[in-house]
Amino acid sequence: MRKKIKKIIEFISTFICSFITYLVALPLAAIIFFAGYLAKVLKLNGILTFLIRIWCQLFFSIIGIKLKAHGLEKVDKNKQYLIVANHASYYDIPAIMHFIPDLVWVANKRFFNVLIFGSFLKLMETIPVDPNNFKESKSAIEKISYRVGKTKTRSICIFPEGTRTRDGKIHNFKRGFLTILKYTNFDLLPVTLNGTYHVKPKWSFFIHWIPSVDVIFHDPIPHSNINFDDEKGTAAYIQDIIEKDYQLK
């Protein structure tokens, strides 16, 4: 009996979360996006940062999910990082950007054609990567990484798995993030995301409620400590750091 009641409650909460997200949160997110675009055009960076935080918080707070940061004190606001994180859901992006809003992302080129989301990627000067065109991708990484490095303020974020996990497990990291490090002097900042897979798995249309999403910031790794001679070993080492604190709630 208790299991049936629990399933009914889960069904109702999932329906409510999905309804609120698709019919309320997404329209509000679109409004905030256009306000942010205007702020960027007018070079009102303070307002843009504020709107980004609101945009990121919206998707969680509107359905009652708490965003929790662990180890955020390790992040130096005056330094630039290459942030490397596991990828389980579209919710990974707002979870990270709520705490570090001024980011340049690395994303598959095909996402630039998605309505509103593609415009958001362009607004944030996202680095487009084409898995089928290594030369073009490398050129884009080199060009934008160099420009971001010159700003002395913005960091770059990448999901080395390349795509969202389908089973909730962390899959092998690709070595492309090391290419970015070669074109910058950034330190590497590993981040573990817990909970986003359950909120919106890749295979699910529905939005699910959980008490909290946890963003764990690990100790930054100085650029000088990165072993570029053993890219496969380095990628595995970074994955181990992220995976040791990963939990399937």
In a domain, 98, yes or no: yes
Q: Which residue, among 84, 79, 75, 81, has the nearest Cα to 177 in the 3D structure?
A: 84
In a domain, 78, yes or no: yes
Dihedral pair phi/psi, residue 238, rounded to 5°: -65, -40
In a domain, 181, yes or no: yes
In a domain, 1, yes or no: no
Q: What is the pLDDT of residue 198?
A: 96
In a domain, 148, yes or no: yes
User: Which CATH number does the domain housing residue 81 bear?
Assistant: 3.40.1130.10
| 123 touches 48 (CB < 8 A) | no
As a whole number of angstroms, the distance between CA 136 and CA 107 comes to 14
Q: Which residue, among 185, 232, 194, 235, has the nearest Cα to 216 in the 3D structure?
A: 194
CA distances from 121 to 59, 106, 150, 153, 242 (A): 17, 9, 20, 19, 25
In a domain, 17, yes or no: no
- Domain range holding 82? 65-243
Q: Which residue, among 143, 107, 149, 110, has the nearest Cα to 128 in the 3D structure?
A: 107
| 161 touches 172 (CB < 8 A) | yes
In a domain, 128, yes or no: yes
Number of domains composing the chain: 1
As a whole number of angstroms, the distance between CA 233 and CA 230 comes to 5
Indicate left, alpha or beta for 152 from its phi (over 0: left) and psi (-120 to 50: alpha). left
pTM: 0.90
The pLDDT profile of the chain, 249 residues, written as one tens digit per residue, is: 777 888 888 999 999 999 999 999 999 988 988 898 888 888 888 898 899 899 999 999 999 999 999 999 999 988 999 999 999 999 999 999 999 998 888 888 887 887 666 777 777 778 888 777 767 767 777 777 767 766 667 899 999 998 999 999 999 999 889 988 888 889 999 999 999 999 999 999 999 999 999 999 999 999 999 999 999 999 999 999 999 999 986
Q: What is the pLDDT of residue 93?
A: 93
In a domain, 94, yes or no: yes
